[in-house]
Amino acid sequence: MSDKSRSSALEDLVDEYLEYLTIERQVSPYTVRNYRLYLTTFIDWLKKQIHVARMEMVTPKMLKQYRLYLANRKNERGEFLAPVTQGYYVIAIRSMLRYLVRQDYEVVSPERLELPKGKDHSIKFMDFDSISRMMEAVDVSTIYGLRDRVIMEVLFSTGLRVSELVSLNKVTLNLETREFGVVGKGKKIRVVFLSSRACHWIERYLKERNDHYAPVFIQHSRKPAIDEVREGARLRLTTRSVQRIIAKYGRLAHLPFSVTPHVLRHSFATDLISHGAGLREVQEMLGHKNIATTQIYTHVTNPQLRRVHEKFHSGSEE
């Protein structure tokens, strides 16, 4: 039985759920911020379009109406939301509803809100030649170019998530052992490794900077006149800035699809597996909680399966 004394007002339940994510699940502030956006959009729609102010009043029919609303919604550029973007909104609502069910609130079943079907579930990755073309498109004669080259080298060498990359501080890196620890999703700590080439570019970039700011990656267009450690936090690159940087060099390299930091993460994993690395080891380096998440890379490149196919398939006979 639900506790009738508890509030089921929409805003209160959203706040309760986000508090649970922050304290119990220990998700990142970035995730909490996004979930707040997705859930606030939902409750605003309920209140303005359906005139519903309490969660127990939400029905399966309303959830279907909201799905239609998302499908017809446009972003700030006047474009319809992509199915994957619609999915983010739906996943946030379903997750909150599951939490409320566990807390004995009388709410609609989360399964009544269907996930949108994406058009393309294939992962995008680049081979080493494509990555090299991106890196060679950088003008390393400038501090901006040096920084951008290092960003790409580190992403491809370590498989870091973009949020993990921008949080790096100079004291974190050990260029002698070419390894360092990183705190990933769910506060899970793992060790990642730098290639000798990545170390070379990091050393070159940091030597050129010659400052006392803590972050590895900073903005160079708005550096303060005073070189103080505390000023570094204001200069730290954002995830969005890195996304723009990577997309820029993907275009300069004339690659056939839009390149994101996560494409470099996919490329890191694919490169390892294609050269014979074990799935468990790659799982550790990526920081995946479940090995099933890592297995997606075996669908695109598995050297052992390729050798078996070439050896035994009739079409391989000359």
The pLDDT tens digits for 3-52 are 545 667 899 999 999 999 999 888 888 889 999 999 999 999 999 998 98
Q: What three-state secondary structure class fits 302? A: coil
Q: Check: CB of residue 89 under 8 Å from CB of residue 38.
A: yes
Answering whether pTM is above 0.75, one says no
Give 3-state DSSP helix, strand, coil % of the chain, rounded to 5. 60, 5, 35
**Is 288 a residue of the active site?**
yes
**Residue 84, CB-side half-sphere exposure with 13 Å CA sphere:** 4
DSSP assignment of 65-85, as one string?
HHHHHHHH-B-TTSPBPPHHH
Bridge partners of residue 54, in order along the sequence: 9
Nearby residues of 293 by Cβ (< 8 Å), 6 or more positions away: 283, 286
Residue 236 DSSP one-character state: B
Split at pLDDT 50, 70, 90, the class of 121 is low
Q: Check: CB of residue 81 under 8 Å from CB of residue 70.
A: yes
> Do the two domains 10-112 and 128-306 of this chain adopt the same fold?
no
Nearby residues of 178 by Cβ (< 8 Å), 6 or more positions away: 193, 194, 195, 196, 199
Query: Residue 2: its pLDDT value, please?
Result: 44
Split at pLDDT 50, 70, 90, the class of 315 is low
**Is 51 a residue of the active site?**
no
pLDDT digits (tens, 9 = 90+) for 190-235: 999 999 999 999 999 999 998 889 999 999 886 655 556 677 888 9
**Is 222 a residue of the active site?**
no
Q: What percent of the chain has pLDDT over 70?
A: 87
Please provide residue 62's backbone torsions phi and psi, each rounded to the nearest 5 degrees: -65, -40
Res 263 pLDDT > 50: yes
Domain ranges of the chain: 10-112, 128-306
Here the tokens at position 176 are 């002698």
Nearest-10 Cα torsion for 270, 159, 92, 242? -120
Q: Check: CB of residue 83 under 8 Å from CB of residue 133.
A: no
Query: Residue 144: its pLDDT value, please?
Result: 95
Distance (Å, rounded) from C-alpha 122 to C-alpha 296? 9
**Is 69 a residue of the active site?**
no
**Is 262 a residue of the active site?**
yes
Active-site residue, from 94, 161, 236, 266: 161
Measured in residues, the chain has a length of 318
Distance (Å, rounded) from C-alpha 153 to C-alpha 213? 21
Lowest mean pLDDT among 68-82, 237-251, 298-312: 298-312
Nearby residues of 117 by Cβ (< 8 Å), 6 or more positions away: 83
Q: What three-state secondary structure class fits 314? A: helix
CB atoms under 10 Å from CB of 313, counted, come to: 9
Split at pLDDT 50, 70, 90, the class of 129 is very high
Res 133 pLDDT > 80: yes
Query: Residue 4: its pLDDT value, please?
Result: 45
Active-site residue, from 265, 275, 280, 311: 265
Active-site residue, from 98, 124, 178, 185: 185
Split at pLDDT 50, 70, 90, the class of 108 is very high
Yes or no: domain 10-112 corresponds to CATH 1.50.10.20 = no
CATH of domain 128-306: 1.10.443.10
Q: Tokens 């505390």 identify what position?
A: 230
Q: What three-state secondary structure class fits 278? A: coil
Bridge partners of residue 236, in order along the sequence: 218
